[in-house]
Amino acid sequence: MAKVLGKGLEALIRNYKDDQNNQDLILIEQIVVNQHQPRKYFDDKQLKNLTKSIKKNGILQPLTVRKIGGNKFELIAGERRLRSAKAAGISHVPVFIISINNLAEMMEYALIENIQRVNLNPLEEAEGYLVLKEKYNFTQEKIALSVSKSRSEIANKLRILNLPEIIRKGLLNNKIYYAHARSLLSVKKEKLMITIYNKIVKNKLSIRQTESLIMGLKNKRSSKTKANAFLNEEEILTAKLGTKVVIKSDKKNGKITISFTSKKELQQIMEKIT
């Protein structure tokens, strides 16, 4: 029997043990994939592990669907389980059939379910919020209430969509963490931001190391005693080489000073330059 979408996470996210008698069993071929699924990236290792679990134990948490006519059901939540069930050769799957009034409600449900079960990649999460905001006119306050997060968290997630494409792809592919992305947002110049991003990925910088690097660049920029003529060049070289770089010049000549603390660090700098 179809359920009406209720308010609050407890009404949205059903518990298998408490709700076993209210589920239905349908053919897997009857399920049509949800085109509004916020999750775009599926980890192969996680899918393989889930497939093994389903082969051994079955689907412990029913999928959530809605009736769309023609004896078909549209998937609202549970695409990882659906993919793994197909890979496991399962013919019938347990489902919760719910009634949804509009696409905004369906998007909200899918987004909440994904966040609660296996965290969405921060970029996918942000894109889901953007759809709710731009297409369905959700305010940041309403989104925050729907997913039980603060309004400031929603705002910060939306901001990462403004990052350069190479950084967004890096975040989507887990080359950097969300905290890295938030730190990079404080860098105003895109070219420098990308340079720092490449350094994070290449040298596997921690969050703290990234924050220290960016803070050092900010402090240098804010220094009143600093000659501003080559400030941008110093910032780029500092980020590129991973060490302090000072550029000085007079009317006739210029000099670049690259600092290092050990022979090993010097060798690393030489490799980067050559």
pLDDT in tens, 18-49: 444 567 888 999 998 876 665 666 677 778 88
Closest CA to 5 of 132, 109, 136, 119: 109
Domain locations along the chain = 3-159, 163-273
- What CATH architecture is 3-159? Alpha-Beta Complex (3.90)
Tallying the residues shown for the chain, one arrives at 274
pLDDT above 60: residue 3: no
Span 55-76, average pLDDT: 84
Other beta carbons less than 10 A from residue 151's beta carbon:
14
- Please give the pLDDT value at position 41: 63
Q: Which residues are catalytic?
A: 79
CA 26 to CA 92: how far, in whole Å?
5
Decide if 72 contacts 102 (C-beta within 8 A): no
**What pTM value is reported for the model?**
0.54
- Please give the pLDDT value at position 217: 79
Among 111-125, 191-205, 257-271, where is mean pLDDT lowest? 111-125
pLDDT above 90: residue 198: yes
**For the CA atoms of 143, 149, 150, 151, what is the dihedral angle to 10 degrees?**
-20
CA 241 to CA 258: how far, in whole Å?
9
Q: Which residues of 81-112 are buried (b: 16+ CB within 10 A; e: fewer)?
A: bbebbbebebeebbbbbbebeeebbbbbbbbb
Largest CA distance in the chain: 86
pLDDT above 90: residue 183: yes
| R_g over Cα of the chain | 25
Span 93-111, average pLDDT: 73
- Please give the pLDDT value at position 2: 46
- Which pair of tokens denotes residue 175? 């080359």
Closest CA to 234 of 210, 265, 255, 261: 255
Q: What is the pLDDT of residues 122-166, one digit of tens each?
A: 888 888 788 778 877 889 998 888 777 899 999 999 999 999 999
Alpha helical stretches, state H, 117-172: 122-134, 140-147, 151-159, 165-172
- Please give the pLDDT value at position 36: 61
CA 256 to CA 247: how far, in whole Å?
5
Decide if 128 contacts 38 (C-beta within 8 A): yes
Q: Which H or E run contains 55? A: helix 44-57
CA 151 to CA 38: how far, in whole Å?
19
How would residue 76 be classed by pLDDT, with cut points 50, 70 and 90? Answer: confident
pLDDT above 90: residue 98: no
Average pLDDT over the chain reads 79
